[in-house]
């Protein structure tokens, strides 16, 4: 019996295909590294709607609350575009994030040397890039009240409210400082304190948490628009970036595209520690469900596999084994093995989803 519990929610589109490769990786660690997992599975998104008429059942939500980590594939697709907003596949993912209170979204932007030419920036600017953006995920302008569209005189007015409490800022700041201690010990906090009162509070609270609890970590502050400029000028100046929900949404997508491989990147959403000390956690690839290639064996499983590597590191304190898996992926890419999304030359033969999984498993075997 293991004390490591996982819930797999493969979801829609290419989700089941890429998650099948993750299942093989999980099995390898059990057989070869003594890391066994108690794995359960359920439905989310369109698959859950097709089976149960809802994108996430109460039973699945309860399962997610009990396990150490949730691994999610992808949700959505044009098949569900006409559904009521409350029933769309994405509502299942949003419910997971909200009810699990996953307030810290970790988005690494890592550029493998073998893929440096995929970036629109010069290879020397992005080669070896390894930064982490931590986005506050459960508050800010996406959740603040009042919100909506109202009539004012003879025209409509759209309203959204940027709202943060001290405690909401402090807890995501702590996540950033803790992350920095695992990495290169530097945090850059980004906001718009020059024009927004919420930005003033953000800067004040992050500084207060730093001074009281993390004086050993280097802290800098930057306006978010200047941060976007610096990310495209010299991204390797950063280690950990912490920012609010809105700016984090924008900056993490920008940083991801610097690598030239948005579809290869993992993410983690973390919450408060559970009784066993592990944080509530959901891990998922950044890419979508790609329904146009679903079922064709063309999907790249690397983002989902790297999401499991993040689970090894942040939910199970298996940093050495996470690094082993990441190195196996880098080894495979260095060999020139590519799925269709990573091919640059005409006429080259792409690896299938399963073949990419085979190659990564072979690289793991070679690491022993």
Known catalytic residues? 142, 192, 225, 249, 253
Q: Where are the beta strands (DSSP E) in 62-185?
A: 69-74, 104-110, 130-136, 144-152, 155-161
> What are 5's strand-pairing partners?
38
Instruction: Please classify residue 9 by burial: count the beta carbons closer than 10 Å to its beta carbon, then call 0-12 exposed, 13-18 middle and 19+ buried.
Output: buried
Instruction: Please classify residue 3 by burial: count the beta carbons closer than 10 Å to its beta carbon, then call 0-12 exposed, 13-18 middle and 19+ buried.
Output: exposed
Tokens of 90: 């994405």
> What are 219's strand-pairing partners?
187
Residues 6+ apart with CB under 8 A from 316: 4, 35, 68, 69, 278
Residues 6+ apart with CB under 8 A from 262: 253, 256, 286, 287
Distance CA 352, CA 331 (A): 17
Spatial contact of 100 and 270, defined as CB atoms under 8 Å apart: no
**DSSP reduced 3-state for 243:** strand
């Amino acid at each position: 019996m293991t004390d490591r519990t996982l819930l797999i929610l493969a979801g829609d589109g290419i989700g089941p295909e890429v998650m099948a490769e993750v299942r093989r990786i999980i099995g390898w660690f059990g057989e070869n590294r003594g890391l066994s997992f108690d794995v359960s599975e359920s439905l989310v998104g369109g698959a859950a709607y097709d089976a149960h008429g809802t994108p996430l059942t109460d039973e699945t939500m309860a399962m997610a609350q009990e396990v150490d980590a949730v691994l999610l594939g992808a949700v959505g697709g044009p098949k569900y575009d006409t559904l009521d907003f409350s029933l769309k596949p994405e509502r299942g993912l949003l419910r997971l994030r909200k009810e699990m209170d996953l307030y810290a979204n970790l988005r690494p932007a890592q550029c493998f040397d073998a893929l440096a030419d995929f970036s629109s920036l010069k290879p020397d600017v992005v080669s070896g890039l390894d930064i982490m953006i931590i986005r506050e995920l459960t508050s800010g302008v996406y959740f603040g009240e009042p919100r909506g569209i109202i009539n004012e005189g003879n025209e409509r007015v759209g309203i959204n409210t940027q709202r943060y409490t001290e405690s909401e800022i402090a807890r995501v700041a702590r996540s950033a400082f803790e992350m920095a201690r695992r990495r290169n010990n530097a945090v850059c906090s980004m906001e718009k304190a020059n024009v927004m009162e919420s930005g003033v509070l953000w800067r004040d609270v992050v500084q207060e948490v730093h001074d009281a609890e993390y004086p050993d970590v280097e802290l800098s502050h930057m306006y978010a628009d200047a941060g976007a400029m610096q990310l495209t000028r010299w991204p390797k100046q950063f280690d950990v970036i912490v920012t609010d929900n809105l700016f984090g949404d924008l900056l993490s997508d920008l940083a991801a595209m610097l690598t030239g491989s948005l579809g290869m990147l993992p993410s983690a959403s973390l919450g408060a520690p559970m009784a066993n000390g592990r944080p509530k956690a959901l891990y998922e690839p950044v890419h979508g469900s790609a329904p146009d290639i679903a079922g064709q064996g063309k999907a790249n499983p690397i983002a989902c596999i790297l999401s499991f590597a993040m689970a090894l590191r942040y939910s199970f304190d298996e940093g050495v084994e996470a690094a082993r898996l990441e190195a196996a992926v880098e080894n495979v890419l260095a060999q020139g093995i590519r799925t269709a999304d990573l091919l640059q030359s005409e006429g080259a033969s792409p690896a299938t989803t399963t073949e990419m999984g085979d190659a990564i498993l072979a690289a793991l075997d070679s690491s022993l």
